[in-house]
Amino acid sequence: MKLKDKVAIVTGAASGIGKEIAMTYAREGAKVAIADLNLEAAQATAAEIEAKHGRAIGVAMDVTDEDAVNRGVEQVVSELGGVDILVSNAGIQIVHPVEEFAYADWKKMLAIHLDGAFLTTKACLPHMYKAGGGSVIYMGSVHSKEASLLKAPYVTAKHGLLGLAKVVAKEGAKHGVRANVICPGFVRTPLVDKQIPEQAQTLGISEEEVIRNVMLKETVDGEFTTIEDVAEVALLFASFPSNALTGQSMVVSHGWFMQ
């Protein structure tokens, strides 16, 4: 087991990619905290993990609320004994052309993706420093490297995570804390399923065309990336044994973006 007795907090883990990462970490021996806006769903995911693999708890956390983040992290430390791994994964998507984007929606997107990453990192680092090591993983996107129509705040925020990871990698190095970014292509989760009809309507094309000609057009094989693909990269970043792998971003996208 690659993560035996490690403690991991995964935000936005009641659903989609975060849920699969939490499952994978638990399978590898970690104790996991499912931190999500939706407490009921977080507890249901934790119960699913406990039935299959081992220790998991659901934690109520709005990643944009500093008090809620600090309370949630303290709960994890007192119930599970520390924090070794943070996966800052919670995210949403809102799509509009720039000239029609409501300022409130722009701010909401940056708050969840960037403030959430900052606040959870800030709350977890002292525990990692005290323990002498840890791994911080940000859920970026191919949109950390590329742009797409209609996604101004998402692309802006996902690019921003690369900068945050590099600073945390530099500051954390002497404490044995690494920071890296995972950059997935399109993965069929509720977040993407919601976008398909929205984009079809905004772009005036069919849902099939959104999938074929927008989402998967640049991949090498027309395939979606899977939650399992992303969880494998999250396991690599969490379990890597030294500072050799820090300040990096890894794209997992069926070749949509090649660096």
Rounded CA separation 86/100 (Å)? 35
- Beta-carbon-side half-sphere exposure of residue 144 (alpha carbons within 13 Å): 27
Give the shortest CB-134-to-ligand NAD separation in angstroms.
20
Among 7, 61, 87, 114, binds ligand NAD (CB under 6 A): 61
Nearest to residue 225, comparing CAs of 171, 184, 178, 166? 184
- Fill in the per-residue mask, 193 to 232: x = in contact with ligand NAD (CB under 6 A), - = not in contact: ----------------------------------------
Q: Looking only at Cα atoms, what is the longest distance across the chain?
A: 54
Give the shortest CB-61-to-ligand NAD separation in angstroms.
5
Residue among 148 and 243 whose Cβ is closer to ligand NAD: 148
Residue among 28 and 36 whose Cβ is closer to ligand NAD: 36
Could you say whether residue 43 binds ligand NAD (CB under 6 A)?
no
Could you say whether residue 18 binds ligand NAD (CB under 6 A)?
yes
Could you say whether residue 37 binds ligand NAD (CB under 6 A)?
yes
Q: Copy the structure tokens of residue 52.
A: 């299959």
Q: Copy the structure tokens of residue 31.
A: 């104790």
Query: What is each CA distance from 24 to 12, 19, 89, 109, 167, in whole angstroms?
Result: 15, 9, 15, 27, 27
- Fill in the per-residue mask, 65 to 94: x = in contact with ligand NAD (CB under 6 A), - = not in contact: ------------------------xxxx--
Rounded CA separation 184/206 (Å)? 24
Rounded CA separation 161/253 (Å)? 18
Rounded CA separation 37/14 (Å)? 9
Nearest to residue 93, comparing CAs of 234, 251, 199? 199
Could you say whether residue 46 binds ligand NAD (CB under 6 A)?
no
Residue among 128 and 181 whose Cβ is closer to ligand NAD: 181
Q: Which amino acid is at 217?
A: K
Among 33, 139, 150, 252, binds ligand NAD (CB under 6 A): 139
Among 153, 160, 184, 247, binds ligand NAD (CB under 6 A): 184
Nearest to residue 109, comparing CAs of 155, 66, 62? 155
CA 103 to chain CA mean position, Å: 24
Give the shortest CB-5-to-ligand NAD separation in angstroms.
26
Q: Which amino acid is at 15?
A: S
Residue among 42 and 169 whose Cβ is closer to ligand NAD: 42
Q: Residues in contact with ligand NAD, total (CB under 6 A)?
A: 28
Q: Catalytic residue at 25?
A: no
Residue among 39 and 131 whose Cβ is closer to ligand NAD: 39
- Residues catalogued as catalytic: 154
User: Which residues contact ligand NAD by CB under 6 A?
Assistant: 11-12, 14-18, 36-38, 61-64, 89-92, 112, 139, 141, 184, 186-187, 189-192
